[in-house]
Amino acid sequence: MHDDRTLVEARLKRVLDERIRPAVYPESVPLDVAVWNAPDEPVPVAEGLAATPEPIAVGARWGAPWGTSWFRVTGTVPEAWAGRTVEALLDLGFDENMPGFQCEGLVHRPDGTPVKGLNPRNQWVRIGAPVEGGEQVQLHIEAASNPVILDYHPFLPTRLGDKETAGREPQYRLERMDLAVFDETVWQLVNDLEVLGELMAELPVESARRWDILRAVERALDAVDLQDVNSTAEEARSQLREVLAAPAVPSAHRISAVGHAHIDSAWLWPLRETVRKVARTTSNMTALLEDEPDFVFAMSQAQQWAWVRDHRPEVWARVKKAVADGRFVPAGGMWVESDTNMPGSEAMARQFVHGKRFFLDEFGIENDEAWLPDTFGFAAGLPQIIKAAGSKWLLTQKISWSQTNRFPHHTFRWEGIDGTRIFTHFPPVDTYNCSMKGAEIAHAANNFKDKGVARHSLAPTGWGDGGGGTTREMVAKAARLRDLEGSAIVVWETPGEFFRKAEAEYPDAPVWVGELYLELHRATLTSQARTKQGNRRSEHLLREAELWAATAAVRTGFPYPYEELDRLWKTVLLHQFHDILPGSSIAWVHREARRTYDRVAGELGAVIDAAQRALAGEGSTALVFNSAPHSRDGVPAGAAAAPRVDGEVRLAPREGGGHVLDNGLLRVEIDERGLVVSAYDLDADRETIAPGRAANLLQLHPDFPNMWDAWDVDEFYRNTVSDLVDVDEVGPAEDGASVRIVRSFGASRVTQVLSLSPGERRLSIDTEVDWHETEKFLKLAFPLDVHAERYASETQFGHFHRPTHTNTSWESAKFEACNHRFVHLEEPGWGVALVNDSTYGHDVTRTVRAGDSGTTTTVRVSLLRAPRFPDPETDQGTHRFRHALVPGAAIGDAVREGWRINLPERRVTGAREVAPLVTVDQDAVVVTAVKLADDGNGDVVVRFHESRGGRTRATLTAGFTIGDVTVTDLLERPLADAASPDREGDRIRLRLRPFELVTLRLGRA
């Protein structure tokens, strides 16, 4: 037989595009349209319905950026359509290639009842099936004219990302407002031909199955009368039934399709718009669930569920019913799909506490899975947090975006820093917006790396980001793929059903140890410095507020602010979403975030002040409150007392120019350029700075990545660097005991103050940058005389080691990495720590010196970037950073100094010292939370972990009489398999594994 394959395939495409798809709606009549434009922010539904609209014609432009327009569409069903299925076709000016990234709408009935969302791939509203002739139609559309930020030429700077700069130019053109007859037979034919055509394209040319499908498609096309598609569609379908009925082979890959609509809680739109995106999508999905009995939809992010509950109660009622039916599934058990690299220990824990508790309280549902398809890599401390929250599975997707190395598994056990292993799945479909195309299904089966030992994978299916979720076309395609020769088997299932099957079939899944590093989006560790500083400060203020409020409640009867702390925690957790904290959202989002963090700081400051004053009482004694988990200047952890500081700091001229700081423990030489040329550990008789090098060196790189400006820094940025050694001023600061340095470069200015503290082996570096560069990357470098093949970065509840060399492509790809409060390098017996109060990104490199063959290990902290997309003014203005170099530091010193710089002392005058509510006699055990139990019964909850990576014994002593002592999970529920604590009165003896995380609930006798 002659090969006519390409001829038939081309015929299929044209006939589908030009004849069959248009015949889905064979008859239509226009609707009358009127519009009312809300004057500013969105208005309540009742106000939008009550407004008086003005007529508008199809073809007219509408919608200022970020505006809301209420369209009223009215019409009459023609008498000739009686008994047929009729739908309204409502095209606001959609671009079908941009679901989720442009205008959207929510359709209401005249009484305000929501019907469904309108999106580029979902423009229809069912009027009736069948309808009555002469039926009157009236619908109201709340339309959001969200501007297109990420356009066909992506990453171009735009002022559209903030309502304050976006202007008023209409963004869209009204395209179609019609009533139309819906021909379901033709629609089914479209789905038949799409499924078979897409499957055919994925099969080998030489396979018999491909040719069977080709001939059947050809017969179907022959059966179609191109001038009368509607009357011949059923005959065309009959030609396809045999090939559609052929069952899949027994070895076919099995895909659990999960209805999905990945909605970023903020990104190229503000938080307030996400509230409406979620309402539109949940309206769509509850309607689809009613129409499609096999369909299952899962939605993560408890915050988004809470928005529906609080803002759209009529939609919430439909959601609750669908949840009760088991088909609308709460997923993930987190407050938002957060970044996992930068949130601190307690914040990461509270993502699960507040997320899981919401689903338990609202639905009685316990989430077993963490659901994080789009997060930019995963910190090594996460597995034990997932387990401590009572969960056991993790789903992610973003690792497929890595630029350099392909991850070797799709299903595996992920081992964290303490040895906890979590069963993890990484869907081989390589998208969290699967649309059931044949290419996607074939890719999932072919790409799956665990063939031969496993055959199950998951496909999150639906348009995200306000694109409307799963469509009826996706459901129709999945029905045809349920058992189809040549294809993977597709079945709608919940995440839990998938994970149970996948784990059962693959009990010996391979193990991946350590962080899941994304080889992309590395610059998210630095972009939008104020957002990151707001997060870090808020995390530590929450710690302080809980600690002092709990202490005051136990000691003085101070009213513990349960509701206020709950609300503020949720606010901070929301802003850890993976496009807010990473700095990859539009200007509007970060402008609002700065204001929110200021408000959070004010409220938490008031709680802290009130609790401390209640504890101190009225008096004139100067007290220092120490919120850190280690003693400071003689003040115990979690206590208040008068500090004891011994020693002095001397500032003297340096021979050859510059200055010398000396406190008897550390002698620091600062040359005439304001660079640290020596940091000498006097006790160890050891130099810190590499020979011939200078630390506190600001370095400026060009920073213009190939794409994803706010997200990415590409490795070639290192090819060009400017050392900022020119100086405007170097001299004593106002206190006479520290050195002030001023530099200018480009349009920017840096002021630094370098100081020592009495009795401390710590060089403090306070940096203020008035930053006005664009597309530049500012680093602060410390070349250290340390031979280290690896270094430690703090992560949640411990630290994680990375190599300093680049032996493999995996190591080389980690040229920018995350730390929390410290990085630490050491040779046996001596180390150096670099601690910070608000930076995350850093790099560590090593070279061997030509002169003495010694090793120089350089640590550089990332201070600022200046990308122009999606916020063209990213980080312009003044920033303040605090860092400290700690020579002679063991890992425990790094832990202590990291806490110290983030929890500065608070001074209060009062009548009495304050004893700690709990104490631990071993500094290796770090208490991360002291609080009252969330259920309000007055129990004290203490969370702690081993911080140095070794086994330890310690005693925890309560500063109050305790009753029952219970080991709990993060949600403060008893752990069934936990051993009873070894206690003697108010003392509890502890034995901890490396990095072990423990939560104790202490009853008050």
Q: Active-site positions?
A: 374
CA dist 920 and 261 (Å) reads: 46
How big is the CA angle at 102 (ends 140 and 20), to the nearest 5 degrees?
80
CA dist 68 and 105 (Å) reads: 9
For residues 923-960, one letter each, b for 16 or more C-beta atoms within 10 angstroms of the residue's C-beta and e for the rest, the string is: bbbbbbbbbbbbeeeebbbbbbbbbbbeebebbbebbe
Name the amino acid, one letter, at 644: R
- Token pair for residue 85? 């299925």
Name the amino acid, one letter, at 605: G
83 CB burial (10 A radius; 0-12, 13-18, 19+): exposed
How big is the CA angle at 368 (ends 992 and 972), to the nearest 5 degrees?
50
Element (H, E) at 745: strand 738-745
CA dist 374 and 580 (Å) reads: 13
The neighbour count for residue 340, using CB atoms within 10 Å, is: 28
CA nearest neighbour of 485 among 217, 244, 218, 240: 244
CA dist 341 and 582 (Å) reads: 9
Q: How many residues comprise the chain?
A: 1005
CA nearest neighbour of 138 among 52, 75, 71: 75
Provide the 3-class DSSP secondary structure of residue 185: helix
905 CB burial (10 A radius; 0-12, 13-18, 19+): middle
CA dist 405 and 522 (Å) reads: 15
* DSSP symbols for 95-146: -TT-TTSS-EEEEE-TTS-EEEEEBTTB-EEEEESS--TT-EEEEEEEEEE-
Side-chain-facing half-sphere of 243: CA atoms under 13 Å? 27
Provide the 3-class DSSP secondary structure of residue 195: helix
CA dist 59 and 175 (Å) reads: 6
Element (H, E) at 595: helix 587-616
CA dist 45 and 932 (Å) reads: 40
CA dist 331 and 277 (Å) reads: 18
Q: Is-contact 63 170, C-beta < 8 A? A: yes
Radius of gyration of the CA atoms of the chain, in A: 31
The distance from CA 157 to its chain's CA centroid, rounded to whole angstroms, is: 23
SS (H, E, C) 476-515: HHHHHCCCCCCCCEEEECCHHHHHHHHHHHCCCCCEEECC
Are β-strands 86-91 and 124-128 bridged in parallel, bridged antiparallel, or unpaired? antiparallel
CA dist 286 and 275 (Å) reads: 17
- Ranges of beta strands (E only) in 888-961 are 906-910, 918-920, 925-932, 940-946, 952-958
The neighbour count for residue 109, using CB atoms within 10 Å, is: 12
